[in-house]
Amino acid sequence: MPAYNQVAVGTQPITGARSRAVFGQVMGLVALTVGFTALGAYIARDLTGSTGLLFFIGAFACIFGLNFAASRGREQLAIVLLFALGLLLGMAVAPVLNVYAKADPAALWQAAGATAGFVAACGAFGYATRRDLSSWARVLFWALLGLIVFGIVAIFVSIPQANLIYSVLGLVIFGGFTIFDFNRLQRANAQSAIPIAAGIFLDIFNIFLFMLRIFGGNGRG
């Protein structure tokens, strides 16, 4: 299931050097968190798949803790929880990534490249548009719930090309989340940088998993 929690933060218009500084801070945090994810995937590469559930639970706890810390202005704690989120999610998916690395390593590189291009395109659109896309939040939330329900139904009901449909819908939804989060970043202040970085990181993480399902063959019915 997709790992996502939209952290609610206040934003206000900022311009010039401050805007560029916030953008740089957010993207730097995202890059470091992705690095921790890669580290977690390497550390836990030999663990069994059942262990991943515990890491997912820990990751969700980090999301809620990050939300609380950010709302209280505890920046250092929020950053630690952000990096812990990346590490735990990397450890959670490590067994799956290890299987791909042994059976079809090209799928990993293809998924990573496609994710980079997809996020760059969606992010550029979201950051460049002058429209306030706050109204997307509710629509995307319900779309994500619908995707989760579809995934559960597909487990018990035979649906032609269900995995491909699930993956494509997931990309559409998280592409929307990416546009939304970069649009928030356009008006963000320094206090909201960490929660927005968490949102963008989770967008990237989920998009990569959907891309991996497609390039790895699991997106085929």
> Which residue type sits at 133?
L
* pLDDT band for position 8 (cuts 50, 70, 90): very low
Q: Which two tokens stand for residue 137?
A: 């939040």
pLDDT bin (cut points 50, 70, 90) of residue 9 is very low
pLDDT in tens, 175-220: 999 999 999 998 888 788 999 999 999 999 999 999 999 998 754 4
Angstrom CA distances, 100 to 45, 52, 56, 69, 77, stand at 11, 16, 20, 36, 34
Q: Is residue 146 assigned to a domain?
A: yes
Query: Does the residue 9 lie in any domain?
Result: no
Is residue 2, in this structure, part of any structural domain at all?
A: no
At 156 the three-state DSSP class reads helix
* Residue 6, domain member (yes or no): no
Domain that holds residue 189: 16-215
Give the span between the Cα atoms of 220 and 5, in whole angstroms: 28
Which H helix or E strand runs over 9? none
Q: How many residues does the chain have?
A: 221
Higher per-residue pLDDT: 19 or 160: 160
The pLDDT of 10-34, averaged and rounded, is 78
Domain presence at residue 87:
yes
Closest to 29 (Cα-Cα) out of 188, 196, 181: 196
Calculate the alpha carbon distances from 146 to 138, 149, 214 in Å.
12, 5, 20
pLDDT tens digit string along 108-153?
999 999 999 999 999 999 999 989 999 999 999 999 999 999 999 9
Amino acid at 44: A
End-to-end CA distance of the chain: 18
Give the Cα separation of 41 and 172 in Å (integer): 26
Cα–Cα distances in angstroms (integers) from residue 30 to residues 83, 194, 214, 220, in the given order: 9, 9, 24, 31
Does the pLDDT at position 101 exceed 80? yes
Write down the mean pLDDT value for the chain.
88
Is 166 contained in some domain? yes
Q: Is position 221 within any domain?
A: no
Q: Tally the domains of the chain.
A: 1
- Percent of residues, the chain, with pLDDT higher than 70: 90
pLDDT at 29 over 90: yes
Whether pLDDT at 14 is above 60? no
Asked if the structure places residue 5 within a domain, the reply is no
